[in-house]
Chain A
């Protein structure tokens, strides 16, 4: 396939993009390194040290990691078998399924949260942080559906579910075996992709967590009252962390032959 010729405009738009998107980040970075400017130290990582050594930082981080893992597991367990089942037995439900996963875009986040609080207002779910945690996880999963369903759906469309299932059944496999040892390995790329996206989204989310009063990773910056530099350093840290995460995702989900193009000379 012929390569697209690189036009000079491409570099122009790239530069404009970098300017608009990169400058604020660079300014934030600069600001975060300047807590000791008055003391004569133009670049200082003291804000970073303060943030990273703050026990609240690691507490919130672990909380979010836990919430993220739970969200990812439940979301995958809901989406994968359902997509499989619909594709295998109920193909007429496919557009309904897709519509359901797109609905969260229709319901803005705060409307969803207030709806949850209103619906469950006289139950244990709104009394105390345990119940609110359950609501938060549920809200995370729903909110992430539009992004997390796509890779799984794409992966399933690329394989022939019917043939695989019938072949496995003719060899005497049970449903669990079919799902875990026949289907899952074949859609693993999409599942992994979806898992990473879910986890990254859960880690960075704060509208839901702030409205439900949960101490997630991104809520850390709201709890810091004494120092302006700590939240700013935190901003840089969380951006870098998420970017690293997404870059790893890109590498991991690439086809092995694409991973290091320079090496494959066959």
Chain B
């Protein structure tokens, strides 16, 4: 029913077009990304929402904030606070040592072979956790370990007041993988410090300290902040290492992931909602951290895009 002149064509085709009209963005392209998004939905988003849902309802499926408010009582807020403190400490200490190591293999000019050895070692060591790390710690600072003996030879007696099966042990262990993690994160950022900037500063008579204080550190600050946010998340969510070093009831007061685990194993019959609320609390804290990370990384990207 296509008429010969253009006017009729419009009149004939318009109703058909209106029938097929739909928003511009809704097209078959979404089919291409469907598998990925379905997967994320099934294995990440839905489980997370089921935790959030479980945290905010009671046994009768009524909405309640009781379980979330319970998080502020001492028995639950203690592990949160302790874990946050441990995560901040290990993020800063590990971050500092990791930054210095990353600096040495980039700006510091160590040979290329050492650089790739450090990077490959860091790739492995950043995942070194749990029972193996606990063994390594015990082998180094345990009662009959060589370092302990060495220290007592120079008069520093670690035992009996020291133990690796406590907060200090956890901090030492976490720092162990925070350092290489920091190296992996900061190396690309340090590589991005252009030689021209250093030369320009030299040209204007800047000393080394001035270069770092006024040029390099300001440029690196967003990357450093985002790296610290990542390190914090890393320590905050860690489970296996703490489980081995302090596990069980005592550990639940120290490390929030242990508390969540014990809550789910003991209360799965009686009080699952509290467990969900604890887990939701962890999601919230980690979520705040990742917002900080994204913001800082957005700022860091500016320097990579600038044309100078």
A213 to chain B, nearest CB (A): 13
Chain B count of residues within 8 A CB distance of the other chain: 80
Interface pair A24/B47, CB less than 8 Å apart? no
Partner of B147, one of A25, A27, A79, A102: A27
Chain A count of residues within 8 A CB distance of the other chain: 75
A81 to chain B, nearest CB (A): 7
Which residues of A, 67-93, contact B by the 8 Å Cβ criterion?
A: 78-79, 81-82, 85-86, 89-90, 93
Query: Lowest 4 A-B CB distances belong to which pairs?
Result: A115-B47, A108-B237, A10-B108, A4-B109
Partner of A17, one of B179, B282, B286: B179
Contact A9/B128 with A106-B283, A110-B257, A139-B43 known, Cβ cut-off 8 Å = no
A265: interface (CB < 8 Å): no
B11: interface (CB < 8 Å): no
**Cα–Cα distance between A21 and B176 once the two chains are bound (Å):** 7
Which residues of A, 222-248, contact B by the 8 Å Cβ criterion?
A: 222, 231-232, 234-235, 238-239, 242-243, 246-247
Partner of B286, one of A7, A21, A30, A106: A106
**Cα–Cα distance between A146 and B287 once the two chains are bound (Å):** 15
**Cα–Cα distance between A25 and B132 once the two chains are bound (Å):** 10
Which residues of A, 93-135, contact B by the 8 Å Cβ criterion?
A: 93, 97, 100, 102-112, 114-116, 118-119
Partner of A21, one of B121, B146, B276: B121
A63: interface (CB < 8 Å): no
Interface-lining segment among B13-21, B30-38, B63-71: B30-38
Interface pair A221/B237, CB less than 8 Å apart? no
Name the residue of chain B whose CB is nearest to the CB of A99: B294
A212: interface (CB < 8 Å): no
**Cα–Cα distance between A242 and B287 once the two chains are bound (Å):** 31
**Residue interface bits B133-164, CB-to-A below 8 A is 1, else 0:** 10111011000011100000000000000000
**Residue interface bits A1-30, CB-to-B below 8 A is 1, else 0:** 111111101110110110011011101101
Name the residue of chain B whose CB is nearest to the CB of A211: B261
Interface-lining segment among B1-9, B74-82, B97-105, B217-225: B97-105
B36: chain A residues at CB < 8 Å are 78-79, 82, 97, 100
Partner of B128, one of A6, A221, A239: A239
A107: chain B residues at CB < 8 Å are 44, 48, 283, 286
Interface pair B146/A78, CB less than 8 Å apart? no
Contacts A/B (CB < 8 Å), 26 sampled: A4-B109, A11-B110, A13-B100, A17-B100, A20-B97, A24-B136, A24-B139, A24-B176, A27-B145, A30-B139, A82-B35, A97-B33, A105-B233, A106-B289, A106-B290, A107-B48, A108-B236, A108-B237, A108-B283, A111-B237, A112-B48, A204-B127, A207-B130, A207-B240, A232-B135, A250-B120
**Cα–Cα distance between A264 and B175 once the two chains are bound (Å):** 40
B123: chain A residues at CB < 8 Å are 200, 246
